[in-house]
Amino acid sequence: MSDPTIEQARAAADAAAAEANRLQAEAQAALTRAQEAAAAATQAVEAAKAQAASLQAPPAPASPSGPPQVGPLSAEQVDAVRRGYAFEGPALELGALINGTPQPDVQVRVPLGMLNRHGLVAGATGTGKTRTLQALAEQLSAAGVPVFAADIKGDLSGVAAPGVANPKLTARTAGIGQDWSPESFPVEFFSLGGAGTGVPIRATVSGFGPLLLAKVLGLNETQASSLALVFHYAEDHGLALADLEDLRAVLQWLSGDEGKADLAGLGGISGATIGVILRELVGFADAGADGFFGEPEIDTREFLRTAPDGRGIVSLLEVPGVADRPALYSTFLMWLLADLFNDLPEVGDPEKPKLVFFFDEAHLLFADASKDFLDQVIRTVRLIRSKGVGIVFVTQTPKDVPGEVLGQLGSRVQHQLRAFTPDDAKALRATVQTYPRSGYDLEQVLTGLGIGEAVVTVMNENGAPTPVAWTRLRAPQALMAPMPADAMTAAVAASPLQAKYGTALDRETASELLTAKMNAAAEADKAEKDAAAQAKADAAADKLAAAEARKDAAARKEADRERAAAQREAEHQAAARNRAMQQGVSVVTKVLGNRQTQRMLGDVLGGIFGTRRRGR
Ligand SMILES: Nc1ncnc2c1ncn2[C@@H]1O[C@H](COP(=O)(O)OP(=O)(O)OP(=O)(O)O)[C@@H](O)[C@H]1O
Ligand SMILES: [Mg+2]
């Protein structure tokens, strides 16, 4: 028999279990509904996001693995850039395309073989020109190509020392796919005539030539052509023009009495023009240019050397103080180029350049340039490429470079341009017009570039321009700062070039020859004058002596006459005295005893014999 209490309890338990099951089922149903609602909500958000994105951004990237793109180039345009910079031969790496973010899979380069088609690096101050130059120089050196660059601000000397890593640099280089490690490069430091830390570079005045000299002296066309004739004259007469003193001597000679006839023979140079040139020359020398001219003259082939490990030597002309001598510096660089041009053989289009020459602060070269001078620069730029030399002009805006030169520059790295003033804006528009068509609003891009970014277009291996590419440039691997001064001094002291160029020479040149000539003429003249003066003096002395002699004779005669007269007078007086004595003795006895008489006699007698003299 069952216990009614137990039965009751079981029934209650069953009821409770059934209620619990019901509640669980309800909870499950609620959870499922909640999950479904959440999923729907997520979907709605995604859809909204996608819609929003599709309104702002270009289509999704063509390469699904690449980083997200936000423009300004379309996927096709990015592809065109990628293909446009995929060269077959060796190339220098400039950096990675930026399309919103850096695209490490789209590298921007310049073919090594196209560097002799010249280039331009431009941009406002502080935008990265020098670092671009440095990165190019380093890669050229690594590729066995020697480099020449002027280190205007002294901030390029760090090429000789390894760079220093820092987190910002590493992030930057990793972002553009640059495998960065510190590296130093073989460097030779030069200085203008020894002013600064470097092996002295000098040019002889005749080597420099009248055209460049006229430019540094600021001569006008008439004066410049007169100077050319003076050079000609010096050459014809075997007067070597080594230093400024030599030229000065020739000018002085021509403007002096001895050179008058020669000057007349020079075809219409006026003495006044010579005077002007002379004045300018003196001012120029006094301003400290003396040291840059003279011997030994630098053999510009020194700049074509490679180090024992095959890397190209980076020759740096240290000219930190150039700001006060811009004309000299820029003309000097032009001379180096012209000299290279004269010395080097034709090589056509070599696989890689023999030398790349960076011409920093290039605006200095073109400022106030005469037409003759400009023509020479244009000619040099055009012809030097077939000698395997590439020139890269570095300047603030492309408008600093004359159109005819600009037109010959195959590669362009344009850093940020500023458009603060109406002039800036005009220059910006002019710059934009010189670019090939592209997917960029270049006015906007050029003013919005970050530091170390540039708009690039280069000459491809077929000689055609590559697509315009907004590029984040690679960082140099060497030090991005000046090399420590003591290390630089030590490097210069240890240079093998010191033996050849360290000490200035002073041969017998025009100034010595002309000085000797002038001295000889002056001496002959002096000797002649001296002789004449002597003769005159002798004659005068003879005359004087004769007069003296005459005077002496007369004096002697007079003295004799006086002596004779005195003699006669003395004899006469003696006789008189004698007579008086004779008469006196007879009266003495009469006056003796008279004191007065005695005193008077004493006076008379004393005066006559001189025992007592009367006052005169
Ligand atoms: N490619 C780069 N990688 C890393 N840093 C860079 C790069 N380019 C520029 N910078 C940074 O920007 C600074 C200024 O660059 P840089 O000295 O090259 O400017 P600049 O255009 O030559 O200026 P200036 O006209 O005054 O000579 C550098 O010191 C460096 O810190
Ligand atoms: Mg700079």
Q: What is the pLDDT of residues 511-545, one digit of tens each?
A: 777 777 777 777 877 888 888 888 888 888 888 88
3-state helix, strand, coil in the chain (%, to 5): 55, 15, 30
Q: What does the mean pLDDT of the chain come to?
A: 83
DSSP 478: B
The token pair that represents 169 in the structure block: 């640099």
Cβ distance 119 to 390 under 8 Å?
yes
Q: Which of 130, 364, 397 to mutate to test the pocket of ligand 1 (most atoms within 8 A of CB)?
A: 130
Q: Is the CB of 354 under 6 A from ligand 1?
A: no
Ligand at shortest distance from the CA of 129: 1
Is 92-202+295-407+474-507 in CATH node 1.10.3470? no
Question: How far does the centroid of ligand 2 lie from the alpha carbon of residue 126, in Å?
Answer: 7
The closest-lying atom of ligand 1 relative to the alpha carbon of residue 474 is 1
Average pLDDT over residues 99-110: 97
Question: How far does the centroid of ligand 2 lie from the alpha carbon of residue 316, in Å?
Answer: 14
Question: How far does the centroid of ligand 1 lie from the alpha carbon of residue 127, in Å?
Answer: 6
pLDDT at 26: 60
pLDDT at 573: 81
Ligand at shortest distance from the CA of 168: 1
Q: Is the CB of 51 under 6 A from ligand 1?
A: no
pLDDT at 582: 58
The token pair that represents 392 in the structure block: 């890269």
Ligand at shortest distance from the CA of 126: 1
Q: Is the CB of 471 under 6 A from ligand 1?
A: no
Q: Which of 131, 393, 396 to mutate to test the pocket of ligand 1 (most atoms within 8 A of CB)?
A: 131
Average pLDDT over residues 115-138: 96
User: Which stretches within 434-484 are classed as H helix?
Assistant: 442-448
Q: Is the CB of 166 under 6 A from ligand 1?
A: no
pLDDT of 599 strictly over 50: no
Tens of pLDDT, residues 244-272: 999 999 999 998 888 888 888 888 788 89
Q: Is the CB of 331 under 6 A from ligand 1?
A: no
Domain boundaries in the chain?
92-202+295-407+474-507, 511-609
Q: Which residues pair with 192 in a beta bridge?
A: 195, 201
The widest CA-to-CA distance across the chain, in whole angstroms, is 236
pLDDT cut 70: percent of the chain above it:
81
User: Measured between alpha carbons, how far is 90 from 94 in angstroms, rounded to an integer?
Assistant: 13
Per-residue CA distances from 200 to 295, 297, 304, 436 (Å): 10, 9, 17, 43
DSSP assignment string, 503-534 = S-B--S-HHHHHHHHHHHHHHHHHHHHHHHHH
Choose the weakest-confidence range: 24-28, 152-156, 584-588.
584-588
User: Measured between alpha carbons, how far is 67 from 75 in angstroms, rounded to an integer?
Assistant: 12
Q: Is the CB of 95 under 6 A from ligand 1?
A: no
Ligand at shortest distance from the CA of 125: 1
Cβ distance 105 to 177 under 8 Å?
yes
The closest-lying atom of ligand 1 relative to the alpha carbon of residue 415 is 21
DSSP 439: S
Higher pLDDT, 36 or 319: 319
Q: Is the CB of 17 under 6 A from ligand 1?
A: no
Cβ distance 476 to 161 under 8 Å?
no
pLDDT at 41: 45
Q: Is the CB of 480 under 6 A from ligand 1?
A: yes
The token pair that represents 561 in the structure block: 């006459």
Tens of pLDDT, residues 40-49: 444 544 444 4
User: Which stretches within 317-402 are classed as H helix?
Assistant: 326-343, 363-366, 371-384
Ligand 1: which residue has its CA nearest to atom 9? 128
Of the candidates 387, 392, 483, which has an alpha carbon nearest to the alpha carbon of residue 188? 483
Cβ distance 514 to 239 under 8 Å?
yes
| CA angle, 333 then 306 then 390, to 5° | 40
Question: How far does the centroid of ligand 1 lie from the alpha carbon of residue 126, in Å?
Answer: 6
Dihedral of CA atoms 389, 393, 394, 395 in degrees, nearest 10, equals 170
Question: How far does the centroid of ligand 1 lie from the alpha carbon of residue 468, in Å?
Answer: 22
Handedness of CA 512, 518, 521, 527 (dihedral sign): negative
Question: How far does the centroid of ligand 2 lie from the alpha carbon of residue 482, in Å?
Answer: 12
pLDDT of 174 strictly over 50: yes
Of the candidates 387, 343, 336, 374, which has an alpha carbon nearest to the alpha carbon of residue 358? 336
pLDDT at 549: 82
Tens of pLDDT, residues 48-85: 444 433 333 333 334 444 444 467 999 999 999 999 99
Residue 527 one-letter amino acid: A
